[in-house]
A and B are shown apart, each in its own frame.
Chain A
């Protein structure tokens, strides 16, 4: 009897269970959450500040800032500032260079990713993957200098040949025989810069191809190429598109490499082999050092346009890649 009484005295009173975090946890959560929101803040601030500084330009130039093919500013005899600033020609240049880069980089990267995922022996594979990661961390000015001193001499020769035999295709025609520092060569340099990005994203998606589907295809008598064609490529197509768009985002905003290789001329130029062109980013740095205050505002406005372009491309890329990765599960 006494034993039972003692035991009942030991039983603790039922305590209240609460999910309310302690004080230290609340502090921790507040700090981490507020830092977590930092990326949103920074992105908003970037948009806000650039738009604000470029506002005077947007108001004065209107839509001509996007579509205009001239970049002139001078003071006339009456002392009035006359300005006609538009980044249209540079937008064309940006798109031209990026298209060349994508046309060269996407097939090579996809072949390389397929080789790494399905053909390469394990040892070679790990070396090659390391090399690709290393390539992604090379500084852009290194790509630029390499492109100028090593790639350009041979690429120029090939550009001449392309022009000689394929000039009947409008893209390969040139106004004057000036093949140095052309958008074609800049595109090749950009291609080497974005290949690691596209390759690693594609490789990741290819390697997530469900094994049972691959084995099912082999069991039906497929050889390696048929497996890739009927199983891997349909599964990984979205990943390749998304990876290419990530690469495009990098190519659109690349500054130093393009500036080093390309002959920056402010004029609309659709001919890839002709040695003149530019992109928005390289336009900004080439006009930066002797820009007037108004022009600086315009260049900041150009930065805003560039920011919006890359943001849209990156958002769609993330969307596509995420869909590609979750689809297989």
Chain B
């Protein structure tokens, strides 16, 4: 008997486009790009943005007519839809990349070690960038973050616990109110603390008062993020705790919260990222100092957003350079917080 080798058919992928099908599209896009280049060259429409704005309609139209000729109107509409959506997505991501790149390009020239060891006590914003620094602003921002965390994290998490564990009669209403609170404009939070604390109580502008204003913005963020995590904890765990004879308090403290720990940390970090760059409330509540002040309760302080704001408002090349460096530091802080939040958050998902 002769053994015939069985022929294993190579897996074919009928849905995959053959080079012959891809070719026309590539040619069309190339031709429309040339047309766009010609328009940019010979008319008033100039600039990189012109390429984008012209390529969108011309490329789409060219693809539409080709698809209609080849496959019919229905398919042509499908082609249009997908290319419009892709363009929409690209248009959304251009700003993100542009913002990050600009910040690094414009901010890096002003970064030097002395920036982190000096304050603006002996220098003014219009002096050359080598003089002075933003130590006072960084210390101020750290204090603001610390105090806001001390206030908002317990408040936010307890509210989330009310919404997920107690589920009292008012929880729907409170849920509604938390969402409304997360929409309070930052300027309103600042004005509120100004009228309720600075005008009413003996406290004057200081880091502590500014933290109160920031907490109003931070609490709803922490609440909503923690609530999402707590809702993911399976009910079986809670029931198991209760079945073992634990009280609700012990169940929450020893089972639910530890199980949600990393998610709750993520929630706090997201809250910090929300407030680290807030400027508007600080204008009413912080005072804005040029010197390092390590007492958050008494005397005016500074913060990174406030430093950036001052530099921008003065408008001289040196002060604007200071602002860009300040923004770079702020952006790096936000990026680091964001990355930590992501890492902690993804670890918690992997554990389940």
Instruction: State the A residues within 8 Å of B (CB).
Output: 21-22, 24-25, 27-29, 31-33, 35-40, 42-43, 45-46, 49-50, 52-53, 107-112, 114-116, 119-120, 128, 130-135, 137-146, 148-150, 154, 157-158, 161, 164, 192, 195, 199, 223-226, 228, 246, 249-250, 252-256, 260, 281, 284-285, 288, 299-300, 303, 306-307, 310-311, 313-315, 317-318
Interface of B is mostly: helix
Residues of B contacting A137 in the complex (Cβ-Cβ under 8 angstroms): 270, 273-274, 334, 338
Asked if B22 is at the interface (CB within 8 A of a chain A CB), the reply is no
Residues of B contacting A33 in the complex (Cβ-Cβ under 8 angstroms): 162, 166, 168
Residues of B contacting A128 in the complex (Cβ-Cβ under 8 angstroms): 89, 93
How distant is A26 from chain B, measured CB to nearest CB, in Å? Answer: 9
Are A288 and B166 in contact (CB-based, < 8 A)? Answer: no
How distant is A290 from chain B, measured CB to nearest CB, in Å? Answer: 13
Asked if B27 is at the interface (CB within 8 A of a chain A CB), the reply is no
Are A281 and B96 in contact (CB-based, < 8 A)? Answer: no
How distant is A318 from chain B, measured CB to nearest CB, in Å? Answer: 5
Q: Give 9 CB contacts A-B under 8 Å.
A: A22-B247, A40-B174, A49-B195, A111-B88, A140-B279, A281-B187, A284-B191, A285-B280, A318-B179
Given contacts A39-B219, A40-B173, A142-B331, 10 further A-B contacts (CB under 8 A): A24-B250, A25-B249, A32-B162, A35-B159, A50-B192, A130-B342, A138-B277, A139-B334, A253-B188, A285-B283
Instruction: State the B residues within 8 Å of A (CB).
Output: 44-49, 74-75, 77-78, 80-82, 84-89, 91-93, 95-96, 98-99, 102-103, 106, 154-155, 158-159, 161-163, 165-166, 168, 170-171, 173-174, 176-181, 183-189, 191-192, 194-196, 199-200, 216, 219-220, 223, 247-250, 252, 270, 273-274, 276-280, 283-284, 305, 308-309, 312, 323-324, 327, 330-331, 334-335, 338, 342
Are A145 and B177 in contact (CB-based, < 8 A)? Answer: no
Residues of B contacting A303 in the complex (Cβ-Cβ under 8 angstroms): 187-188, 191-192
Known: A112-B89, A250-B183, A307-B185. A139 touches B276 (CB 8 A): yes
Compute how far the CA of A154 lies from the CA of B280 in the bound complex, rounded to whole angstroms. Answer: 27
How distant is A242 from chain B, measured CB to nearest CB, in Å? Answer: 11
Compute how far the CA of A114 lies from the CA of B82 in the bound complex, rounded to whole angstroms. Answer: 9
**How many A-B pairs fall under 8 Å by CB?**
268
Residues of B contacting A25 in the complex (Cβ-Cβ under 8 angstroms): 247-249
Are B155 and A29 in contact (CB-based, < 8 A)? Answer: no
Residues of B contacting A31 in the complex (Cβ-Cβ under 8 angstroms): 158
